[in-house]
Amino acid sequence: MQKKDMGLAVLIIIVGAIVYLRNPLFLSPINLGNTANLIGLFGLFAIGQGFVIMTGGIDLSVGSMIALLGVIFVDLVGKFGVPWPLAILITIGVGTLLGLAHGLLITRLKMQPFVVTLCGLLIYRGVARGYTGEATAGFPFGASYPELEWLTIGRSFGIPHSFLAMLIIGAVCWVVLHRSVFGRHLYAVGKNEDAARYSGIRTGLVITAAYVICAILTSIAAIYFAMFTKSVQPSSHGNFYELYAIAAAVLGGFSLRGGEGSIIGVVLGAVLLQELQNLVNLLGIPSSLNFAVMGGVILAGVLADQQFNRYRARRRAKRAMEALPSGTPSAG
C-alpha cells in the first residue's frame, strides 16, 4: 500500500472514530451494512472512472449512463420479459458500445474527453427521459426475481453483495492496472502520451480500452442501482454520480493530469465519501449542507496531496544535491 493510501486509510479511521464518539449508532450492524452497500454501489463505477483519469481524461457521462442503462435493464426484465441473465448481458453490451464510442471519438477524431462525455451526459439523460416520456420505469407490481435479487441486493454473512462485487472487481482491476502490461502502458500514456507513442505503445487502443472498462463497470453499477431502487426516474436517477466518481478517484490519489493513482486508493476514496455522507446523517447536519461538507473535505484532501508532493519533490532534490561530489557546481 502506498503512503497516500495509508494516509487516506488513517483519515477514514479518524473520521469514523469522531462520528462514533458523537453517535455510537455509527458502528451498529444495520448502519455498517447500509453504508457498505452504498460503498459497493458507488465504488464500482468509481474504479472505472479511475482508469479514464489515469489516461489524463475524464468521463462526465457516468450518471446519465446509469440512468439510461437502468431504464433499459428494468424494461428488458419487467416490461419485455427478457430472462435476467440475458438482460444483464444486453445492458453491459450497450454500455460497452457507449464506452467504445467515447474512446473512438477521442482517439480517432481527436475530440476533447470533456466535450465528448459532456455531450454523452446530455444525450443519455435526454434519451432516457424521451423513451419513458418522463415516467418512472419500474418492475410490474408484485413482480419478484429471487435469483436476481439475491445476486444484487442480497447479503452473505451480513455483507451486501454489492460490496462483495466491488471487492472482487477491484481485485481484478488491481491486477490489470498494477501487474499487467496493459497497466504499465496505461501509466505511460498518462505520464506522456507522445513519449508512449514513440516508444511503440498503441496509445489510441490503450485510451479506448480505458473508456470501455469505465463503461462496463458503470453498466454493472447501473444494474445494481436499478435493483436497489426498484425503479428508475430518468430525470433524477444518477444525478451528480459522475462527481462522486471523480471525487473518489481524486481522493484516492489519481491525478487529473494522468499517470498516477491506485485501485486501493479509489476504493478508499469511495469509503471516505460514504463515511462523510453517513456523518451528515448521523450528526444531524442539514442535508442541504451535504455537498458543502464533501466539497470541503475533497478540497482539503487535494491541497494536502499537493503539499505532500511538493515536500517529496524538495526531499528528492535535496538528496540529489547531497549525492553530488564535493566541489561539483550545481545546475544554474
Separation in Å, CA 331 to CA 228, 312, 328: 60, 20, 9
Q: Tell me if 186 is assigned to some domain.
A: yes
2, pLDDT greater than 90: no
**Would residue 317 count as lying in a domain?**
no
CATH number for the domain including 281?
A: 1.10.3470
- Kindly report the average pLDDT of the chain as a whole number: 91
Which of 163, 193, 197 lies closest to 36 in space, CA to CA? Answer: 163
Position 328 in a domain:
no
Q: How many CB atoms lie within 10 A of CB 153?
A: 16
Nearest CA-CA partner of 281 in 90, 83, 77, 34? 34
**What residue numbers bound the domain in which 146 lies?**
3-312
Q: Is residue 318 part of a domain?
A: no
Does some domain include residue 242? yes
pLDDT at 116 (0 to 100): 97
Q: What is the DSSP string of 18-64?
A: HHHHH-GGGGSHHHHHHHHHHHHHHHHHHHHHHHHHHTT---TTHHH
In a domain, 326, yes or no: no
245, part of any domain: yes
CB proximity list for 169: less than 8 A, separation 6 or greater = 44, 47, 217, 220
Residue 326 predicted with pLDDT over 70: no
Give CA–CA dist 152/41, Å, rounded: 10
pTM value is 0.91
pLDDT at 310: 82
Spatial separation of the C-alpha atoms in residues 221 and 76, rounded to whole Å: 17
From residue 72, alpha-carbon distances to 83, 122, 146 in Å are: 13, 17, 20
pLDDT at 230: 92
* 261 located within any domain: yes
The residues with which 156 forms a beta bridge, in sequence order, are 159
How many structural domains comprise the chain?
1
